[in-house]
Structure 1
Amino acid sequence: MGKKYNLETLEIVVIEHKLEGEELNCKECGEELVEIGIKSKKEIIKYVPAKLIVE
């Protein structure tokens, strides 16, 4: 089983954590930080069950 299944048809959700305000500046020198890459990339498969609603 495992990753042998074709997951290309699944919806992909990308989660980005952006720094804002004071977090954008280095605590040591005060210079503005720049993005240098992705620290972690992982894929999690989540099951979202169908829901019933009344209109």
Structure 2
Amino acid sequence: MKLNQFLKWHNIVSSGGEAKILINSGQIKVNGEIEKKRGRKLVKGDKVMFLKSELIFE
């Protein structure tokens, strides 16, 4: 699953455009590092962080 799809699936964003803005602004971290590629493929066990929330891709 791609990062932007994951954010929509977890209701962090309501649209792909909103996901793009959040990701490009550096507000999303994957495995502790800022991620700027919205098409990044998540693999099992990846930790996605937004603000103080941490979600694990399973």
Larger Rg: 1
Name the TM tier (shorter chain): under 0.3
TM-score (norm 2): 0.18
Greater helix share, structure number? 2
Greater strand share, structure number? 2
